[in-house]
Chain A
Amino acid sequence: QVQLQESGPGLLKPSETLSLTCTVSGGSISSDYWSWIRQPPGKGLEWIGYIYYSGNTNYNPSLKSRVTISVDTSKDQFSLRLSSVTAADTAVYYCARVLGGTLPPYYYYMDVWGKGTTVTVSS
Chain B
Amino acid sequence: DIQMTQSPSSLSASVGDRVTITCRPSQSIGSYLNWYQHKPGKAPKVLIYAASSLQSGVPSRFSGSGSGTEFTLTISSLQPEDFAIYYCQQSYSTPWTFGQGTKVEIK
> Residues of A at under 8 Å CB distance from B?
44-47, 58, 60-62, 94, 99-100, 105, 107-111, 113-116
Q: Answer whether residue B91 sits at the interface, using C-beta atoms and an 8 A cutoff.
A: yes
With beta carbons under 8 angstroms apart, the residue of B42, B50, B53, B89 that contacts A45 is B89
Number of A-B contacts (CB under 8 A): 60
A42 to chain B minimum Cβ distance, whole angstroms, is 11
B93 to chain A minimum Cβ distance, whole angstroms, is 10
Are the CB atoms of B95 and A107 closer together than 8 Å? no
- Which 4 A-B pairs have CB atoms at the shortest separation, nearest pair first? A113-B43, A107-B50, A109-B49, A108-B91
With beta carbons under 8 angstroms apart, the residue of A44, A61, A99 that contacts B98 is A44
Are the CB atoms of B44 and A45 closer together than 8 Å? yes
With beta carbons under 8 angstroms apart, the residue of A61, A99, A107, A115 that contacts B42 is A115
Residues of A within 8 A of B100 (CB): 44
Q: Answer whether residue B31 sits at the interface, using C-beta atoms and an 8 A cutoff.
A: yes
Are the CB atoms of B98 and A46 closer together than 8 Å? yes
What string of 1s and 0s marks CB contacts (under 8 Å) between B47-60 and chain A? 00110010100000
Q: Answer whether residue B46 sits at the interface, using C-beta atoms and an 8 A cutoff.
A: yes
Q: Which residue of A lies closest to B30 (CB)?
A: A105
B77 to chain A minimum Cβ distance, whole angstroms, is 25
Q: Which residue of A lies closest to B42 (CB)?
A: A115
| Alpha-carbon distance A106/B21, docked complex (angstroms) | 25
Residues of A within 8 A of B49 (CB): 99, 107, 109, 111
